Amino acid sequence: MNLGLENKVAVVTGGTSGIGLETARILLAEGARVAICGRDPGRLEKAVASLGHSERLLAASCDVTRAEDVEAFAASVLLRFGAADILITNAGQGRVSTFADTDDAAWRAELDLKFYSQILPIRAFKPLLDQSPTGAIVAVNSLLAYQPEPHMVATSAARAGVQNLLKSLATEFAPRIRVNSIVLGLVVSGQWERRFEARADKAITREAWFAGVARDKGIPLARLGTSDEPARAIVFLASPAASYITGASLEVSGGVSRFA
């Protein structure tokens, strides 16, 4: 299938590692011009070296919760590529906490990160997306938006709010810009790698440990996802091949959800 991404300009926030990095890699392979951003200069440098395609790649340091950073990033994209056709909002990790041990500062930090990592990039890039004949936004969200966990109460609440925001934007921005999301289950990430390194039984292998996690979580496909799997779903939803899809959320979870 031709996804129609040749020479499209795609922006990926949180593009220096994990799902964001793999999304950028696939977009470049499909012939798109790609702009990535991240907060860590070291990760940014490694991402650029990993991705190659320097003639079609822009990498910028940016904190997506700071309006001035995001506006500067949008200006850099316009200067380098003259347009933006796709925005992929991918930022923010989960906060492990219950209601009892989440104080006001933690609530504000979590809500600020989850909402403004969507709001600020969408606001900054919307004028460019409005000018594209194939404008599309794809947000990376979590299954927690629909299936909250009591040990991640702040993240679950924020993720649900973000999902509602995206659904509203899909209506408001139509027909010029399509807005979709993926909702993730468990995907191997830096967080999960750190949990493996901190395991109590150091004799257990990585394969066995992750298989145990999948078993404990009741994942029907009996494993955690890999970064490239949600990345492929993101690229499809962002592409002109998904031209009649908007306001949708695609679950990428190995079948672990309990909702209909």
Instruction: Read off the pLDDT band of 243 (50, 70, 90).
Output: very high
To the nearest whole percent, how much of the chain has pLDDT over 70?
Answer: 99
Q: Is the dihedral of CA 50, 56, 61, 62 positive or negative?
A: negative
Average confidence (pLDDT) over 166-181: 98
pLDDT, tens digit (0-9, with 9 covering 90-100), for 184-222? 999 998 778 888 888 888 888 888 999 998 999 999 999
DSSP state of 7: T
**E strand or H helix that includes residue 211:** helix 206-217
Residue 180 has pLDDT above 90, yes or no: yes
Task: Report pLDDT for 112.
Answer: 94
CA dist., res. 197 & res. 215, Å (int):
19
Q: What is the dihedral of CA 66, 7, 138, 229, to 10 degrees?
A: -110
| Placement of tokens 């009591």 in the chain | 150
Q: At what angle do helices 153-173 and 104-131 cross, to 10 degrees?
A: 20
Residue 120 has pLDDT above 60, yes or no: yes
